[in-house]
Amino acid sequence: MPDSRFLPLVIYDKRFLIWWGISLYLFQLGSRRQLDFDLDARGTQVLNNLNRLAQTQQETRPVHDTLDHFLGHTGAAPYAELRTRMLRRLIRMRSLDAARLQGRFVVALDATGHLAFGRPHCPHCLVYRHATHTTYLHQVLEAKILGPAGLTLSMASEFIENSDSNAALSGEARKQDCELKALSRLLPQLRRDFPQLSVCLSGDSLYACARTLQLAKDCHCNYVLTFKPGHMPAVWKDFQSLLKLCPENKLTCSTPEGVHQVYCWVHGLSYRDDQGRTWHFNAIECKETVDGETTVFAWITDLKVDTRTVEEIATKGGRHRWHIENQGFNRQKNSGLNLEHAFSTDPERLKAYYYLLQIAHIILQILEVSSLLRNVAAEYGQTPIQLFGSLKNLARRLLEALRYFALSDEVFDHSHAARIQVRFDTS
Ligand SMILES: [Zn+2]
């Protein structure tokens, strides 16, 4: 090891380091260590391209520890703020408008595992005791805004973790943090970040409870929540008997894919919660038949339900929520984005990496579904997936472009980019 006192001091611009961090996920490198190899500056155009992207003049590249050190200084908050600004821009440009439900943006709620350890990792871990072993977990509650073409863009994240004040307690005395408690922190924050936005929350049956209804009211959000017999059983019973009493609330339709749907609905169901508050909402049932097999779905909502609106509420407010699982969590876990990998040993830095991943995934999703890529593929008479073979290959082609091509100055010119119209496939 050379004596560090004699190494030249290199100061990295923060814009460069942030792009360096986003690159980790944009090019789906999988681990921080890969930065040193895949983004090696020697014999490549990496520095040339990244300097122009970040508007910097770095003469050497950082090592992966530089990034980790930098994130230790900044903490996670600036990256959450950067993501908020990206989404505000997309909303302002009206690029997500095609997915709006009665004028509202649909925001899907769901939690996911982030990290799992076999032994205590930090004072904030959620602790789960099994018969033979104990696991120490970090989870995140996500609010993702649903856009056209299956876009599922992270707009708010709340880490599900035990607080310091709780840490001294052990075993049963310690009430752990959970998804619904995290929602009580997430929604007010989402409102502070997007004060004017018309929002319709979409969530699974776990969220069909008084806490969500109160939060939605306090934060001026509408909702479409999955309704199952086990949650609010008395209300479910009322729903079933009232369905029989209003046969006029019915719509039958078929999708182009040959799915037969029968919608029925009830207005003004009431629910008295354990704190004596009474809630009123509408409920929708959808019997869906594919190849002779019928599945029943149901939702509760405070949106106006009638023959004209029922299908749109169920589709955009109810079904599109499933994108959060597929396009959202599965993609982030089962790709080079590597959501469940511990990119740092430090709990606070892990959050910064989490936000950088979300930012990169927003950029990647926009790239994947935008007309830019479709137009390139169309020149070869193909779709983007036909042209690249897979989304994984697309990430590799992106990395190759960064490494081996001195991209033209036009590529980095904001005023030139402003003239390019990017459209999302809404078919
Ligand atoms: Zn931990």
326 or 245: which leads in pLDDT = 245
pTM of the full structure: 0.93
What is the CA(347)–ligand 1 centre distance, in A?
6
pLDDT digits (tens, 9 = 90+) for 30-83: 999 999 999 999 999 999 999 999 999 999 999 989 999 999 999 999 999 999
Please enumerate in sequence order all residues whose Cβ is within 8 A of that of 306, keeping only pairs 6 or more positions apart, or say none: none
Work out the mean pLDDT of the chain and round it to a whole number.
Answer: 92
What is the CA(133)–ligand 1 centre distance, in A?
17
Place of tokens 């002779």: 292
Res 171: pLDDT? 54
pLDDT digits (tens, 9 = 90+) for 155-208: 999 999 998 765 555 555 568 999 999 999 999 999 999 999 999 999 999 999
pLDDT digits (tens, 9 = 90+) for 233-244: 999 999 999 999
What is the CA(355)–ligand 1 centre distance, in A?
17
What is the CA(27)–ligand 1 centre distance, in A?
27
| Three-class DSSP labels, the chain | CCCHHHCCCCCCCHHHHHHHHHHHHHCCCCCHHHHHHHCCCCCCCHHHHHHHHHCCCCCCCCCHHHHHHHHHHHCCHHHHHHHHHHHHHHHHCCCCHHHCECCEEEEEEEEEEEEEECCCCCCCCEEEECCCCEEEEEEEEEEEEECHHHCEEEEEEEEECCCHHHHCCCHHHCCCCCHHHHHHHHHHHHHHHCCCCCEEEEECHHHCCHHHHHHHHHCCEEEEEECCCCCCHHHHHHHHHHHHHCCCCEEEEECCCCCEEEEEEEEEEEEECCCCCEEEEEEEEEEEEECCEEEEEEEEECCCCCCCCHHHHHHHHHHHHHHHHHHHHHHHHCCCCCCCCCCCCCHHHHHHHHHHHHHHHHHHHHHHHEHHHHHHHHCCCCCHHHHHCCHHHHHHHHHHHHHHCCCCHHHHCHHHHHCCCCCECCC
Q: Considering only 79-83, 113-117, 148-152, 326-330, which range has the smallest mean pLDDT?
A: 326-330
pLDDT (mean) for 11-30: 96
% the chain with pLDDT above 90: 77
What is the CA(113)–ligand 1 centre distance, in A?
12
What is the CA(378)–ligand 1 centre distance, in A?
47
What is the CA(344)–ligand 1 centre distance, in A?
11
Res 165: pLDDT? 61
Q: Is the pLDDT of residue 352 over 90?
A: yes
What is the CA(331)–ligand 1 centre distance, in A?
23
What is the CA(377)–ligand 1 centre distance, in A?
44
pLDDT (mean) for 246-262: 93
pLDDT digits (tens, 9 = 90+) for 95-143: 999 999 999 999 999 999 999 999 999 999 999 999 999 999 999 999 9
Q: Considering only 104-118, 177-191, 258-272, 385-399, which range has the smallest mean pLDDT?
A: 385-399
Res 283: pLDDT? 98
Res 74: pLDDT? 97
